[in-house]
Amino acid sequence: MGSGVMEPIEFWKMSGSGNDFILIDNRDGQVKNEDMEPLVQRACRRRESVGADGAIFVVESDQYDFGWRFFNADGGEVEMCGNGGRCVSRFAYLKGIAKPKMTFATLAGPVSAEVNGRVVKVLMPRPGKPSMDLGVDYQPGWRSCDFINTGVPHVVIGIEELSIHPVKEQGRSIRYHSLFSPEGTNANFMRRVGPSELEIRTYERGVEDETLACGTGAIACALVASIREKVSPPVRVKTRGGEELTIHFKRENGSFEEVCLEGNTSIIYQAHLHQEAV
């Protein structure tokens, strides 16, 4: 932040199936564009500040109900975050910014959502074409390795045993693999546990660690599993945090349409961020 005195910033702390976020209504421009990255880097530090996987600024939009700017905990701005999209939708509804059915602007394109109590269903941007059987050296425990962009890039690795898998170590090696340089990728480890049920664990770039959930990662796993594991929608995805996300989609002519992410959101608290915390 700049060297001047910062007025306290009102924020909400929310969680989407284990992904936690700082949400700020910034339609008045209280936080300047150049101050967003350093504020996020400091406010997202656990034990020293609020602590979160990322931060979301709600901004004005000429075309839609509102716009957002989404930053990972390292201060890097990214196109999309599924669980963040669900949290910001409920935030916007409860703050009177939008009605229960809304559309908001992201770097990945417009996103539509519907709020029904704590449950939020988000219609995601159309995913990219999957790349199956990536040409990378398989690491211990891998059965498959595929790629798809679901708003942000995701590698999906099929494994047999999830609970003891070294997600952080192998996830980091994939995240920084030269094949995905320089932007990097997220890495998901997936196991099918039923006809339409998956368990996953995700290493997220920007957080640089395993997270309790990842919405776009859950979508990536469901879409890849529909090809490789023959699962049928809606696909239930159990996250590392124990909560369940539901992925809806249609598969037509080799592409995916009407991809939706559905699950619970939680309001953790509302407070003010002071200069000493950033």
- On the question of pLDDT at 106 being above 80, the answer is yes
pLDDT tier for residue 6 given thresholds of 50, 70 and 90: confident
Share of the chain above pLDDT 90, in %: 90
pLDDT tens per residue, range 266-276: 999 999 999 88
Has 81 been annotated as catalytic? yes
- On the question of pLDDT at 258 being above 90, the answer is yes
Question: What's the CATH architecture for 9-125+265-277?
Answer: Roll (3.10)
Q: Per the residue annotation, which of 81, 87, 145, 221 is the catalytic one? A: 81
Overall pTM surpassing 0.85 (yes/no): yes
Domain with CATH 3.10.310.10 in the chain: 9-125+265-277, 142-263
CA distances from 47 to 55, 72, 158, 208, 250 (A): 16, 17, 34, 17, 42
Residue with tokens 């890097």: 76
- On the question of pLDDT at 278 being above 90, the answer is no
pLDDT at 239: 94
In this structure, what token pair is assigned to residue 33?
A: 């564009």
Q: Per the residue annotation, which of 44, 87, 145, 214 is the catalytic one? A: 214
**Interval 134-162 mean pLDDT:** 94
pLDDT tens per residue, range 202-240: 999 999 999 999 999 999 999 999 999 999 999 999 999
pLDDT tier for residue 254 given thresholds of 50, 70 and 90: confident
pLDDT at 250: 95
Has 214 been annotated as catalytic? yes
In this structure, what token pair is assigned to residue 275?
A: 């200069």
**Interval 172-179 mean pLDDT:** 95
- On the question of pLDDT at 3 being above 60, the answer is no
pLDDT at 277: 83
pLDDT at 220: 98
- On the question of pLDDT at 1 being above 80, the answer is no
pLDDT tens per residue, range 72-81: 999 999 989 9
Query: Do the Cβ atoms of 156 and 146 come closer than 8 Å?
Result: yes
pLDDT at 219: 97
91: alpha, beta or left? (left if phi > 0; alpha if psi -120 to 50): alpha
pLDDT tens per residue, range 143-155: 999 999 999 999 9
**Interval 83-92 mean pLDDT:** 97
pLDDT at 4: 62
Query: DSSP per residue over the chain, as a string?
Result: --SSPPPPEEEEEEEETTEEEEEEE-TT--S-HHHHHHHHHHHT-TTTSS--SEEEEEE--SSSSEEEEEEETTS-EES--HHHHHHHHHHHHHTTSS-SEEEEE-TT--EEEEEETTEEEEEPPPP---B-S-SSPPPTTEEEEEEEESSSEEEEEEES--TT--HHHHHHHHHT-GGGTTT--EEEEEEEEETTEEEEEEEETTTTEEES--HHHHHHHHHHHHHHT---SSEEEE-TTS-EEEEEEEEETTEEEEEEEEEE-EEEEEEEE-GGG-
CATH hierarchy code of domain 142-263: 3.10.310.10
CA distances from 153 to 21, 69, 157, 174 (A): 20, 18, 13, 12
**CB within 8 A of 164, min separation 6: which ones?**
none
